[in-house]
């Protein structure tokens, strides 16, 4: 039974994907990333425009989320759903909560906003790399952070192929993404607050381990 949903939001390079991947290592937890459940044609329409990068219309959002949650409940293997960089707007908060009220009314929702020093964010964005071979993204735009080889930092530790900068981390695109997050963040917080859900801010400037430990502590005792 789906018992808990945890929205993890934050600016670009705050560590959302790395943190959700780490937390999802335990049984019964799964990560939801909206772009993985949206038709490729819709993603392709936003993939090359920095102003619209990843921007998905609300009808597609609610349809994709409804189908995913319905399938997750039917399969019965998930008790905790980790939302990576979702919801992305105040409207998406309302859409997601409406889906849960319909399909999983007893599911508890938490919201965590990762925060980090701007210098840390810029450094992470400029240094993180992805692997086109390990993550066969249909739009040739892999997102998951790749681990560099200890022998050669330019190559993937898993497959030894060359690593690349993520498209969204290119300076001009990163700047636009940061501005967009700053524009929508208050609306996301307000929508959660309006639903009686406090958004907990968590400093992710330090190590992934420390952020994971802090978030795990916030989930106690329900998750432990």
Q: Rounded to the nearest 10 degrees, how much is the dihedral formed by the CA atoms of 35, 24, 69, 95?
A: -60
Question: Which residues lie across from 181 on neighbouring strands?
Answer: none
Mean pLDDT of each 10-residue bin along the chain, 224 residues long: 95 94 91 86 57 70 94 92 95 96 96 95 95 87 92 96 93 92 96 96 87 78 47
pTM, rounded to two decimals: 0.89
pLDDT value, residue 221: 53
Do the Cβ atoms of 121 and 177 come closer than 8 Å? no
What class has domain 4-117+184-219?
Answer: alpha beta
pLDDT value, residue 45: 55
pLDDT value, residue 50: 47
Token pair, residue 69, equals 């949650």
Residues with Cβ within 8 Å of residue 39, at least 6 apart in sequence: 60
């Amino acid at each position: 039974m789906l018992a808990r949903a945890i929205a993890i939001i934050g600016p670009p390079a705050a560590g959302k994907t790395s943190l959700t991947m780490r937390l999802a290592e335990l049984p019964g937890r799964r990560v939801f990333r909206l772009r993985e459940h949206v038709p490729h044609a819709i993603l392709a329409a936003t993939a090359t425009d920095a102003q619209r990068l990843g921007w998905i219309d609300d009808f597609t959002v609610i349809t994709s989320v409804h189908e995913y949650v319905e399938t997750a409940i039917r399969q019965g293997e998930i008790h905790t759903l980790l939302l990576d960089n979702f919801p992305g707007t105040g409207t998406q908060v309302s859409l997601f909560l409406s889906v849960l009220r319909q399909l999983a009314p007893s599911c508890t929702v938490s919201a965590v906003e990762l925060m980090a020093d701007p210098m840390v964010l810029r450094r992470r964005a400029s240094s993180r790399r992805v692997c086109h071979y390990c993550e066969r993204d249909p739009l040739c735009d892999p997102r998951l952070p790749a681990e560099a080889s200890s022998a050669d930092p330019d190559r993937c530790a898993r497959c030894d192929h060359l690593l690349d900068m993520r498209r969204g981390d290119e300076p001009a695109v990163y700047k636009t993404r940061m501005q967009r997050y700053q524009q929508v963040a208050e609306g996301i917080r307000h929508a959660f607050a309006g639903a009686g859900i406090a958004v907990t801010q968590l400093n992710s400037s330090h190590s992934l381990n420390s952020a994971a430990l802090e978030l795990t502590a916030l989930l106690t005792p329900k998750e432990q």
